[in-house]
Amino acid sequence: MNLKKKHFALLFMLTLSMILAACGGGTSDDESGNEGDSGSDSGEDQFVSILTGGTQGTYYPLGGTFAQLINDNVEGAEATAQSTGASVENMKTLKDGDGEIAFVQTDIASYASEGTVMFEGSPIDNVVAMGTLYPETIQIVTTKDSGIESVEDLKGKTVSIGAPGSGTRANAENILEVHGMTVDDIEARDLDFGDSTSGIQDGTIDAAFITSGTPTGAVEGLAATTDVNIVPVQQDKAAELIEKYPYYAEDEIAEGTYKLESAVPTVAVQAMLVVNKDLSEESVYNMTKAIFENTDQIQHSKGEFITTETALDGVGIELHPGAKKYFDEKGVSNE
């Protein structure tokens, strides 16, 4: 009987020691607070989801490149590009904490920060800027035969200003405003880019506002069969616009684009990167540095526009402290 008791006690102690060893090993992926857990100080910054746009657009392939630059240059980072519905959806997704970095137009970011236009009554205050990338140009497209040579000439004309609530519509309203006009001074049509250029082609509309990187495919298609004219936004009006709405920047459409005989001055919003405000200063500093110091590895045609020197043009919203630290070191300021 005593032998059985001793055997039971030995078995009990062996079982207890195995349980204690399993609890104290510190090897579980779920126990991020355990001492000795490799990389536990990185926390949420180890995995970086970059919210982009549709797979056929510009944001998605650039996002894939940026993810690779982060993975190659930021120790412990695991960044991936995620296809999304682009700017408006990206701002809302970051607000909900379901991502770390996102592509967005500068004007859309400002509307979100202010709680205006498509974000009316629902401001987003936990998304801040990393830096701007390249211009998304406001193009006022018409034909040479239309007789429209200035923004003022649009008065009384049938003009597409984009879909209701779209960024293009807001751009049109802003530009008309600095020229002393409103949408009530034109016969406004709410058309997407393809329908806009088709309307110009068949004569159902006279002109269209199109906000997109140049050259824009829909406008190139129009230029293939029609002599295109781009209405300029002159420098004094551009300066007035930028003073009131700082997310704009001066731009021009180059000679030869759409067979233009000379460059046309206009304005642009910028494609930009934004980040969740809760990301650490160190993390955002390292990712900003990884992207802007390796632009020579960007194979996309928009890569030539992505520079440290222009990265704060038209930002319009608060800059993340980590990004600010990087650009301060480079002597770049948006003041």
pLDDT tens digits, one per residue of 107-132: 999 999 999 988 999 999 999 999 99
pLDDT > 90? residue 300: no
Nearest to 208 by CA among 235, 230, 233: 230
Query: What's the pTM value of the predicted model, to 2 decimals?
Result: 0.70
- Whether 174 maps to a domain, the answer reads yes
Looking at residue 319, the DSSP 8-state letter turns out to be: B
Q: Report yes or no on 216 lying in a domain.
A: yes
Same-domain check for residues 140 and 101 = no
**pLDDT given for residue 192 in this prediction:** 83
Residue 209 has pLDDT above 50, yes or no: yes
Has residue 61 been placed in a domain? yes
Q: Is residue 164 part of a domain?
A: yes
- The enclosing domain of 244 has a CATH number of 3.40.190.10
Question: 157-166: buried (b, 16+ CB within 10 Å) or exposed (e) per residue?
Answer: bbbbbbeeeb
Average pLDDT of every residue of the chain: 86
Here the tokens at position 5 are 């008791």
Judge whether 40 lies within some domain: no
Residue 40 is predicted with a pLDDT of 33
Q: Can you give the three-state secondary structure of 54-68, one letter per residue?
A: CCCCCHHHHHHHHHH
Per-residue confidence (pLDDT) for residue 32, from 0 to 100 = 28
d(CA 331, CA 321): 15
Q: Quick one: DSSP state of residue 301?
A: G
Give the mean pLDDT of 27-38.
30
Domain hosting 153: range is: 136-269
pLDDT of residue 38: 29
Q: How far apart are CA 29 and CA 19, in angstroms?
A: 18
Residue 312 has pLDDT above 60, yes or no: yes
What is the Cα–Cα distance from 67 to 56, expressed in whole angstroms? 18
Do 101 and 183 belong to one domain? no
Q: Are 319 and 129 in contact (CB under 8 A)?
A: yes
- Contact assessment for residue 263 and residue 92, using Cβ atoms and an 8 Å cutoff: no
Over residues 57-109, the pLDDT tens digits come to 788 889 999 999 999 999 999 999 999 888 888 999 999 999 999 999 999 99
On whether residue 16 sits in a domain, the answer given is no
Give per-residue pLDDT as tens, 268-291: 998 999 999 999 999 999 999 999
With cut-offs at 50, 70 and 90, classify the pLDDT of residue 164: low
Q: Looking at residue 335, what is its pLDDT?
A: 67
Q: Give the pLDDT band (50/70/90) at residue 198.
A: very high
Structure tokens at 125: 């205050």
As a whole number of angstroms, the distance between CA 302 and CA 59 comes to 10
> Of 237, 252, 269, which closes a domain?
269
At residue 142, φ and ψ (nearest 5 deg) are -150, -165
pLDDT at 20: 38
**Longest alpha-carbon distance in the chain:** 112
Q: Is 131 helix (H, G, I), strand (E, B) or coil?
A: strand
Q: How many domains does the chain have?
A: 2
Considering 269, 286, 302, which residue would you say is the last residue of a domain? Answer: 269
Tokens of 326: 């990087």
Q: Give CA–CA dist 207/228, Å, rounded.
A: 10
Residue 217's contacts (CB-CB under 8 Å, 6 or more residues apart) are none
Distance CA 148, CA 168 (A): 20
Strands 101-105 and 158-160: unpaired
Same domain, 261 and 144: yes
Decide which of 198 and 57 is more confident.
198
The confidence band for 211, taking pLDDT boundaries of 50, 70 and 90, is: confident
Pick 229 or 314 by higher pLDDT.
229
- Please tell me the predicted confidence (pLDDT) of residue 23: 40
Question: How big is the CA angle at 268 (ends 254 and 167), to the nearest 5 degrees?
Answer: 130
Bridge partners, 318 (sequence order): none
Query: pLDDT-derived band of residue 169, with 50, 70 and 90 as boundaries?
Result: confident
**DSSP of 10-73:** HHHHHHHHHHHHHHHS---TT-TTSTT-TTGGGGGGGEEEEE---TTSSHHHHHHHHHHHHHHH
Flag whether pLDDT at 29 surpasses 80: no
